[in-house]
Structure 1
């Protein structure tokens, strides 16, 4: 059915964690039908090529500087919906995982816009996965927590303390500024040797990885100059990465030997 551009509509689309290939086909179709695209800082700009005829407006945040505040973004969605038609709100990862997508949809619906949601691949899953870190593994981890490291009050989430007591894999987003506090909580539970991976700019060409333990990770972060945007993964599943890398190295050596024979 051809979309009537006089009817105001908002589609909140998850862009995935950074690699442009990780957006869904449904997300691409939404971009192709957009009259306006409002996109965030962590969105791969290659995705905007799928909306060449749409007005494209950057509404993200870089290094703490806002182009638009959240209230202004909400108002812009509604204004452009009524004046242009189909607004696509393109957000990194999955907009329903610490992405405020639900809030924007609610505001748009209250102001007369039809709303639709297109899920994205969450960075909490894909970024560790790209580094061969599974969030669950039989015999190692039966569950996982995904927690925001910093709340709207700029404090560490109380859920981190609860997660530190569990045997689950713990994935912390937006937590680099609270790393010292996170480490302290895990040490209080006697988990000094628990493996930790920190992945910066995951799934992009600028990706950087630091792997250590609760005891060593702060030094590793300093030595490798790791910073936001980054994901912190704590759990024995981090060891899977080294196992895979070792096996791949062995395969490569054997393949080189066969080729040279």
Structure 2
């Protein structure tokens, strides 16, 4: 890496905080958090992880749907400016920095500015959430491929998902709660069976986690009636029929019987 010459040398460390559970941090990530001069963190980073370094300065750059505390370009500028002041800046991200974490953009900004940086990967939300619900993302009998997609980035209409979901495949959708109806319509229009199992895992690996299972055609309705909120991942594929997710269709049938 190129070290800057105009002042004390700082650095940026892009750290994956994992899906929530502090025990799922890597040892290297834990060490970086403890050694940080400044932590710049996303809103999805669990407070218990931030509590590991209670006296370290922090800046939140939390994002939510259609509302960003700080634009990405401003975050890049912040990381570079603080590193140029000689600080060890830990950019702490939920999940893994390079899976829908914009870590690539921040790494490119550091390269362009001549700022030393390193990357510490984390357990992704997909892997952590699926494991917590005992859903295998691959299974020799039903799935030999996995795809990660974003449910709102760039708009669904611009994304070509043809062939990514269906028999023998697993699709994991990030940021899809608000667009679940459109996601189901898009997949069914691409030829995925309306009866394809899906699982929705809310707050994966955290104490308040819950996992629900239904069919693709019921995805949007289930999210609405169960009050599912982000952060959540949606797993589409035959693997979703496995594991410990609660059967939301069975629950709905019980309600219908009680009201009959």
* Interval containing the TM-score (normalised by the shorter chain): 0.7 to 0.9
TM-score of the aligned structures, taking structure 1 as reference length: 0.85
Unaligned runs of 5+ residues in structure 2 are 1-6, 248-260
Tell me which residue corresponds to 2:23: 21
Q: Are the structure 2 counterparts of residues 98 and 160 from structure 1 closer, same or farther at C-alpha, using a change threshold of 3 Å? A: same
Q: How does 1:160-175 map to 2 (within 5 A)?
A: 160-164=161-165, 167-175=168-176
Aligned pairs, how many?
240
Give the equivalent residue in structure 1 for 2:88: 86
- The 1-side partners of 2:136 and 2:31 are apart by 30
Distance 1:160 1:33 in 2: 42
1:214-256 CA-to-partner distances (Å, cap 9, x unmatched) read 12223321220113221110111112215999xxxxxxxxxxx
More displaced, 160-169 or 188-197?
160-169
Going from structure 1 to structure 2, the CA distance change for 1:187 and 1:50 (only over 3 Å counts) comes to: same
What value does the CA root-mean-square deviation take over the aligned residues? 2.2
Deviations 1:72-118 (A, max 9, x none): 11111111111142100000000101111111121122213111000
Structure 1 unpaired stretches of 5+: 246-261
Decide which moves more: 119-128 or 53-62: 53-62
1:176 aligns with 2:177: yes
Deviates more, 1:161-170 or 1:81-90: 161-170
Q: Residue 50 of structure 1 is aligned with which of 42, 49, 52?
A: 52
The range that moved more, 155-164 or 212-221, is 155-164
Structure 1 residue 145: deviation in Å?
A: 0.9
| The one of 136, 142, 145 aligned to 1:143 | 145
Q: Which has the higher helix share?
A: 1
1:99 matched residue in structure 2: 101
